[in-house]
Structure 1
Amino acid sequence: MILAQFQSPGPILVELGPISIRWYGLLIATAVIIGVFLSQYLAQRRQVNPELIADLSIWLVLAAIPGARLYYVAFQWENYAQRPQEIIAIWQGGIAIHGAIIGGAIATLIFSKLNKVSFWQLADIVSPALILGQAIGRWGNFFNSEAFGRPTDLPWRLYIPPANRPPEYANESFFHPTFLYESIWNVGVFLVLIYLFFWGLRHPRRYQIGTLACVYLVAYSSGRIWIEGLRTDSLMLGSIEVAQLISVLGIIFGIAGLVWLYGFRRNLPDVVSEKVNNN
């Protein structure tokens, strides 16, 4: 019995003469817009100037999207060495969220330093929007028929066109819809972060700044490890799946941060002093 069978209608939403509007780009733009509005709302609840988030969002876009692309290209260089003009073709897919996170974290760190605001305060405010954006963005993989899992005969499955199948699975038609697994997982992480955010508002003496960022690292990375194990197109470093390696590091850093905050009851290292941090 088939419970759900997914098949992409194609990567292009509409064509207007020489202009093509792709699902991937539309989803990224939608995720950014929703993320900005959500982060501004959360900032207001934390008594942080929402305009500061609007300014930060520009930094994040300028850093995260190129970071995601360059990270992907770096681990797929053999595919781009002879076609360097395709490095900027982000609309065709091929970005890595870990590159976006790294680029965004660096941008936020610099932004925090320049504006004398807590990095961890901003990270807490942005984390729910980030994971929600990831949930939305994963559907871009669906429309591009990419980032899917191994072949499966489960009642839920994803049809992949022959042109998009790995050579070793050329005779297979249905694969694990890993885009869906991760999207659902990310929505669950989003709900956890939102709950913790408002719990922190109700219990300000018990909540430590940086909690949401640390929980994000642990929760997202935990899901990414097992989902990545199903995929057929993982970025590799030798025989190691890069996403799993980064996810393990994310879990370690996230747990260490939570132990530091609630075990030792100390603030995380920040770009501003504790006095400024509490304002």
Structure 2
Amino acid sequence: MTAAVTTPRGARPKNPFAPRNIMLYGALIIFSIYYLLPLYVMLVTSLKDMAEIRVGNIFSPPVEITFQPWVKAWSEACTGINCDGLSRGFGNSVRILIPSLILSVSVAALTGYVLACWRFRGSEVFFGILLLGAFIPYQVLLYPLVIILREMGLFGSLWGLVLVHTVFAMPINVLLFRNYFVALPEELFKAARVDGAGFWGIFFRIVIPMSLPIFVVSGIIQVTGIWNDFLFGVVYTRPENYPMTVQLNNIVNSVQGVKEYNVNMAATMLTGLVPLAVYFFSGRLFVRGIAAGAVKG
């Protein structure tokens, strides 16, 4: 009696050195190097002194690491008549970011919830008009907003800039929240209404607990946009209220004295640390939010 022939079970092992994999990972490595190379140059330049920088090899690591450029960029670099570095701009950026983030995300989430779950007559028209704002160039509205903020007594203040960021965040953030909430099971809302939950009960007890990924998506978009903003900061605030990006521009583009490339690179790295940290700690939730329907119509 012949023994039964057994065959291996499961998926066939993939060849890691297949031509397709080599091309795929090779392209990813090349693109990664392309995007990381400027960051590497900035980092190593910020850790060198000017004598080593003048040698001219920008890709070589520092022979002797120094953190003096970072100290000077933070607390000693001059921006006009002030020589307190980026520290004052950092404080202003934080005071702009926190209320702008809370207001824009809260209002957009509530508006998206209304448009998705409590539709009213003309809601689609309202939604279309709101989306139209996403396609209006910022430059067209700069001067009218100056007039509006001046009449409100907010021009030049941090709260005026907070209001501008909140308003300009509405189109894209409402789109994100509305499309995410539309994808939630409608049976949950019907069951909640049967149990006596109203507008706010459904929002706080059902919608928000199920929507952490899209809140992270919206938060990352807002943090990046607000923290990296230069145009609104330089137009709608006064020098004492300039955000960190405007301070960075004043340091890098200073025409007085010796051009200190190590200080400029350190200042640039310091300015970008907050968005980098947000992406590093929230990257997975960002991908989940996008994949769960953030960009679905």
Q: Normalising to structure 1: TM-score of the pair?
A: 0.28
Q: Normalising to structure 2: TM-score of the pair?
A: 0.27
The one of the two structures with greater contact order (alpha-carbon pairs below 8 A, sep at least 6) is 2
More helix by share: 2
More strand by share: 1
Q: Which has the larger radius of gyration?
A: 2
